Structure 1
């Protein structure tokens, strides 16, 4: 019964990470970016699952030897970052002339939600929520600030 309880909490943690990742993904989806709502949810959930599985294995007697097992949390984080790097690279596109590159912000948001998932996996729920809110702030408010001067320059040129 104790193992089932741990597994149920693991599912709750993964769901929480997916909700947080989905919030960032929804913002990307609304801007019609290559990786959106579902992708961000899955990345955050997978990161949380990987970390939480590592912790769950520590308590599983099936995987213990007489010396016990230890877990290196940084190796779990490295695995998440490696996987997300592959996905993030797929979201970055260059135009034919090579003058512009698109998708870097989306790749960065995927990295952020993966780390949000890692934070959830380690049990830092408030930190994960705060980082999600900061990420949304960067993607929405700073996007508005970044593009506002360009619009003013265009209006001056037209008038």
Structure 2
């Protein structure tokens, strides 16, 4: 493998990692432009090291045939370590926050960039380019499809201040059920008497799982439309 071939593969690795990393950087993810480039270039370098090892082993056997049974070159061993080892870097991008897990897509993009980098280093140009285009389409186009058509839940904590009416709690529950909103946890807090009203009011904290197609503004508007509700706040 000559110097020109090495340069081509390194620049292709930079382009592949940069294209995928740019999308992650644009989405303000933990691992972005430079991280993806470095992962892809590193994987490509590992692949080329493997090729150099194979060439060196073959040349030694040709020069010394008696070493044929003693010398071995496993072209897949180092690459396998890259594929498994990149998991540690990907794990660093995964964040557990407010009951939900974020960063899985970025971790997966790092892993696939490493795989493409191995392909670039081995000289599989067509495979590398087509794989990069596929990943870019998945990250950009399918995200819109996912948010529009796939049913996913967001965890939201909402505070409701309302008059102490017996049926109010049931009204809230009925509304959540009608919208397929799952109540994960409820905390009831009894407050002191209001200054301008003889009735007592309650403060309730709801942890709810809301489908993506329902906005928080829609929930606040629907709950606040009840005359017994004093205040609705998203925490």
TM-score, normalization by structure 2: 0.58
**Root mean square deviation of aligned Cα:** 2.4
Matched residue, 2:214: 153
Matched residue, 1:71: 73
My pick for the range that moved more, 108-117 or 71-80, is: 71-80
Displacement of 1:152 in angstroms is: 4.5
My pick for the range that moved more, 80-89 or 141-150, is: 141-150
Q: What is the SS of the residue equivalent to 2:38?
A: helix
Displacement of 1:93 in angstroms is: 1.1
Q: Structure 1, unaligned stretches of length 5 or more?
A: none
Q: Point out which structure has higher relative CO (alpha carbons under 8 A, 6+ apart).
A: 1
Structure 1 runs (4+) deviating above 3 angstroms are 63-66, 149-153, 155-159
My pick for the range that moved more, 140-149 or 125-134, is: 140-149
Out of 56, 62, 86, the residue aligned to residue 60 of structure 1 is 56
Q: How does 1:7-46 map to 2 (within 5 A)?
A: 7-46=3-42
Matched residue, 2:106: 106
CA contact under 8 A between 1:14 and 1:46: conserved in structure 2?
Answer: no
CA contact under 8 A between 1:28 and 1:106: conserved in structure 2?
Answer: yes
Richer in helix (by share):
1
Equivalent-residue separation in structure 2 for 1:153 and 1:112 (angstroms): 33
Q: Structure 2, unaligned stretches of length 5 or more?
A: 150-210, 223-235
Richer in strand (by share):
2
